[in-house]
Structures are given as structure tokens and as C-alpha cells.
Amino acid sequence: MIVGTAGHVDHGKTALIQALTGVATDRLKEEQARGLTIEAGYAYPDPPADFPDATLGFIDVPGHERFIANMLSGAAGIEAMLLVVAADDGIMPQTREHTRILELLGVTRAWVALTKIDRVEPSRADAVRAEVDAWLGETPFAGAPIFPLSSVSGEGIAPLQRTLWTAAANQPTRADAGGFRLAVDRVFVKSGAGVVVTGTVRGGVVHLGDSVQLLPSLLTARVRGLRTQNRETERAGYGERCAINLSGSDIERGRVTRGDWVVGEHSPIADRQRLDVSLHLLPEAPPLAQWTPVHLHHASAHVTGRVSLLEGESLRPGETMLAQLVLESPLQPAHGDAIVVRDHGASRTLAGARVLDVTPPRRGARRAERLVWLRALQGILPDSAAPTSPDRLWPALGADRGVDLDALAANLDLAPDEVAASAERAGWQVVAGSSVRHAFPDDYLQARYRYVLARLAEIHASEPSMRGAEIDRLRRMSAPSLPPELFRPLLERWKRNGEIVQRGPFVALASHHATLSNEETARWQQVRPLLAASPFEPPRVRDIAHMLAWPEAEVRELLRNCALLGKVYQLRHDHFFLTPAVAQLAAWIRELDALAAEGVTAAAFRDRVGCGRKLAVAILEFFDRIGFTRRVGDSHKVLREDMLFE
């Protein structure tokens, strides 16, 4: 359990930690000379004999208002508050602000040390105790135990000490969920070891020897040494104070700073400059207007930005609203992270934000469906004792939307497979493309299926000579918001029902049969031999028209109708190939692609077909357009081995 001090300057926080642990947390010469804490200090006492397995650490934060940024950096790792109030002064400005900050950071457990009772009369100590108890009654720390004590005489130290060790021994174990994340709050160089970073583990677990990366620099490093609670260890998990000795060719002190993050080697967390959040304005803060400039503190990082309110033009004291933070410098948060919001002059704390979505859209932030999504994410915000679980998300969503699972996993800092399994447990269906994976409610997919059937019926009624609709045209007509990569796998599912069939690149109702008219059939019997005579370099429309003495427009219309029926493919404006010839061309592309790792070049394809380079390029571009191949540099790679040409 990590306990952090809170309270006004000169109320005895550092002296109390030394009395509890025997550790002097003021390590800087300036701090020792001035008797003033400037940077957060740390103490890790050995457990007493009656609690041998308990772990207890202390973070001693500065109390002066000028060092509030340093206080916030240290406070990010606090799990429980030790509020220090001097009996002679009573409640002071930083008493209130520190307490509010820890409230905004999600801390819920607290104890109060009423210090310096040796300097006042008992009646004064009793009055301050009553004052503190009454004030805390207006906060989440209502009823926190109060321990009158003196760090000088030692009076009252033992009861507080035992209470803290008892709480540490009963602290529930937290799951090491998600990817490893550590917020760097201190960097130093250790002789013979190199760069060491310290911070609190905010997610996942790291082991000695692991490869990690630093954000935002994207430097990579190896975990050369590891300490938790000031002891050598081979692993560190969620909530632990941790020191990591980093090794790597690019790792040096000047390139790693406070505010950086150490994350897993393949972490999806990246720089974010827009964050959708749940924003809570403190009761004592002034109303917050749209686009207010603010200071933002996330873990040990500090940036500036503005607040864009999503549900109104103003946020009143004590209220909560969905909002978007637009940052002037990037942060690296995940869903559920807390951000402390201070005013433009950095003189007072205004609000707290809980991160909902780290990749909000640039447009439509206030659309009704977008707000529904944010409220669903708000409903699964983790509490202080459990990691984010997506299981509670699905019931909050309607049946009229899909969810990008990979984006959601990155937002929640969870493995994509874990999020996909959660969706399936909730009865959603997972549909995967080559690079995207979405989950859909069954009702949504059934509605899309019925809509596709209706669009196909309309197409057949208006274009009876067509074999069907090209796949991408059908997607644009029936599911324009669906990623193209997902429409094809959905179509494969729907084809299993037997109502939809695919004929080459065309999709149709199984009941639909397109044919040429009698006149067109007679004309086709004359045109087909001309195309078959030179299948891989057939005559163009103008050539056929000249040979048969027909108008070009009639030849072009006939061949386009034949293309709709699958008899020919239109590779270019006036260039039609018989379907068997296109199937053979596709087979040659498969062969060449299998022989060359880089894919099929225009030169190799030209030589295989025996045509000119210009025509070879045109044929390859046709196969790219229909999705059979994809151009990579100067070559073409087969993208869909299963595509049929018939």
C-alpha cells in the first residue's frame, strides 16, 4: 500500500514520515538547508514482526503552493491519504487543495494526523479536530480516523503506525491487467549501472530482462535492474513503487525526463492531443466556460490545453459533464486515467477528468450517437480496486452500431483478443478483415442482411440484364459506413444462407437470372469469335465495329451488357476480354506471384502473356481495381487467392 502525505506547508509532513519510518525523505541539499520539501520524497520501512508479509510505502509531497506541480507528480502514485494538519494552524489553503486533488485522483482511503499537539492546549487540539472532522464530512473522506500526535515527543505515533500497517496487511491484491505502464517521476544516473527511472506502475507487470519502450521518445531499452519498495526484485506489478535500471544504446539521462512513460515493448499507447473525458468541476470552483484555457496534470506530466464542453456551454460548480480536452502538447493516457485540471494561471485546482476515449473523432464530437458511446465508456470506468473490464460495456450500447475492437483495446490498454472474447461473451459477433476487427450485435447484422437483400431486389428490378451488383457498389448502397474490409467477410457469412450468390465480382439474389435479348444474342454470336481469336490482346470496340460495319455505340452497349452477365470483363474503356481469358490471366498472376517474393512486375507479366508493356500494365491495374491484387512499389501482390473469374 502506498500512502501519501497531504497538507499545508510547515504542518510537519516530513517530520511525521521520519517518525513513522526512520527515513528522512528530504534528500536535496536545498531542502535540508531550508527545511522545506521541494520534490516528493519516498520511504519504505521494513515490516514489523506481526505483519511480515505486508508492504507499506510513503510518498511525502511538498506542501508549498509554489511546488504544486511537484506535489501532483508525486501524488499520482498515492493509494491512500495521510492528511497532515497542524494543531496550531488548523485547516489552511493547501490542506483543502491537496485533499481535493487526491479526491480527483480517485483516492478514497484516508487517515488524519493532527500534528504539533505538544505546542497547543488540549482545548485547541480538540477544536481543530472537530473542525477537520466537519470539513471532511463534505468530501469522500468523511469519517476518516484522526490521530492527535507529536513527531517531536513521539506521542500518538505508535497507534497511527499500527493502523497503517494493519491496513497494508489487509490491502486487497490488484490484478496486473493490461499492458505495462510506469509514469516516470524521477530520473538519475547510478554509478556503474547507468540510467535509473522511478515511478508507480499504472498497469500490467514488468520482469527483469524485459524489453520496454519510452514515450514519447519511442526509445527502446532493456530492464537491467528492478527494485520495488526499495528491494531488489524480478517483477513489478500494478500499484507498486518501482525503480528500473534501463540499458540501451540510446538511453542517457538527457533523453529521459519526468513525465515520460515506460511501457511494454508492443504497447498500443501513443501520443494523444485530444481526449474525451468525464469532467467534474469542484464545488468551490467558479463556473467553467466553453474553450477555457487550463493546465492539465496527468501522472507526472504537465501540459496546457483547452476545454471543449460536449453537453452545454458552461459547467456549474459541483457538476459533471462530458468534455473534450484539446492539448497543446501530447499526453499518453489510457481509459480511466485521472487528469487534474487547474486554472490558466496555475493558481488553483478547478476540476478532475477521467479519460474515456483517447482517439476521439475530429468531427461530430457532440452527435447523439457519439455521446451514447462516451456514456457507455463512462459506465465502465474502473474504481480504485479493479481494472477496467469491457464486460459491462456491451449492455449499455444499442443494437444499431458496431465497435472497432482494436481501437477499443488500445483505448482500454487491453489485449485485442481479450476485448473480442468479452464481446462474444455478451452475444456480439466478431467480424475480422485483413487489418480490422469489429464486433456487432446480432440484431444489427440481421438488419444489415435484410437491407442488402432489399437493395439487391431493387437492382435486379431496375437492371434486369445485369448479373448483379459489384461488391463495392453494393456496400456503398447498403452499408456505406462499414469499412470495406469488413463487408466481404460479412458477405461470405450471408452467402451461406443460400439467398445470396456471387458470380465472379457480382453479387445477386439466387433467384435472379439475367439474359441477353434475342437480338443481342445473335449479335454476340458474331462478336465472340473475334474476341476469342486473340484472347489476350483482343480487338478494341472501334476495331470490332470496323470489322462488322456496326456503329461503335452499339458494339460498346452490347459488350457492356455482356460484361454485366459475366461473359466478358471490361479492362479499360474500350477493351473487353472474354471471361475465360481473364481467368487465365489471373492464374498466370498467381504463378508469378508464387515465384517472386516481391510480387508480379509488369515486365515479367508482359513476357508471360506475350503482349505489349502498355497492355500488361493496364491488365495489372484492372486486377488492382477489383481487389484481386494490390500494388506494392513497382510490383503487384495477390490479395485474394479465393477470387473466382467465371
Q: For 181-264, which CATH class? A: mainly beta
CATH T-level topology, domain 515-646: Arc Repressor Mutant, subunit A (1.10.10)
Q: What is the CATH superfamily name and number for domain 272-388? A: Translation factors (2.40.30.10)
Residue 384's pLDDT band, with cuts at 50, 70 and 90, is low
Given the DSSP bridges, would you call strands 261-264 and 220-228 parallel, antiparallel or unpaired? unpaired
Query: What pLDDT does 77 receive?
Result: 82
Please tell me the predicted confidence (pLDDT) of residue 426: 94
Residue 223 has what DSSP assignment?
A: E
User: 246: which 3 cell numbers?
Assistant: 534501463
**2-169 against 181-264: fold identical:** no
Tens-place pLDDT, residues 133-192: 999 999 999 999 999 999 999 999 999 999 999 999 998 876 667 789 999 999 999 888
Question: What pLDDT is attached to residue 434?
Answer: 83
Mean pLDDT of the chain: 92
What pLDDT, on a 0 to 100 scale, did the predictor assign at position 61? Answer: 92
For residue 566, name the pLDDT band (cuts at 50, 70, 90): confident
Closest CA to 586 of 627, 635, 526: 627
Question: Do residues 353 and 374 make contact, with C-beta atoms less than 8 angstroms apart?
Answer: no
Strand residues in 170-291 grouped as ranges (E): 181-190, 194-203, 205-207, 211-215, 220-228, 231-232, 235-237, 241-247, 261-264, 272-281, 288-289
CB half-sphere exposure, 437, CA atoms < 13 A: 18
Residue in the structure block whose three cell numbers are 485540471 = 341
The pLDDT value recorded for residue 386 is 56
Asked if 358 and 333 count as a contact pair (C-beta separation under 8 A), the reply is: yes
- pLDDT above 60: residue 407: yes
Confidence of residue 238 (pLDDT cuts 50, 70, 90): confident
Alpha carbon distances (Å) from 569 to 459, 537, 546, 563: 20, 13, 21, 5
Would you state the cell numbers that stand for residue 193, as one nine-digit string?
549501472
**Can you give the pLDDT at residue 298?**
95
Domain ranges of the chain: 2-169, 181-264, 272-388, 442-509, 515-646
C-alpha cell at 36: 522545506
Summarised one tens digit per residue, pLDDT across range 46-58 is 999 999 999 999 9
Collect all residues with Cβ–Cβ distance below 8 Å to 44 and sequence separation of at least 6: 21, 23, 56, 57, 58, 229, 230, 231, 241
- Phi-psi region for residue 116, left (φ > 0), alpha (ψ -120 to 50) or beta? left
Kindly report, residue by residue over 568-597, the tens digit of the pLDDT.
999 988 999 999 999 999 999 999 999 998
Query: What are residue 469's DSSP bridge partners?
Result: 507
Sheet holding 500-503, edge to edge: 469-470, 506-509, 500-503
Interstrand relation of 109-115 and 57-60 (parallel, antiparallel or unpaired): unpaired
- How large is the average pLDDT for residues 237-259? 90
What is the predicted pLDDT for the residue at 482?
A: 87
Domain 2-169 is found in CATH 3.40.50.10420: no
The pLDDT of residue 553 is above 60: yes
Task: Give me the pLDDT at residue 351, please.
Answer: 98
3.90.550.10, 1.10.10.10, 1.20.1250.20, 1.10.1660.10: CATH of 442-509: 1.10.10.10
As given in the structure block, the three cell numbers for residue 253 are 539521462
Checking phi first, is residue 137 left (phi over 0); if not, alpha (psi -120 to 50) or beta?
alpha
Mean pLDDT throughout 244-272?
89
Element (H, E) at 68: helix 68-75
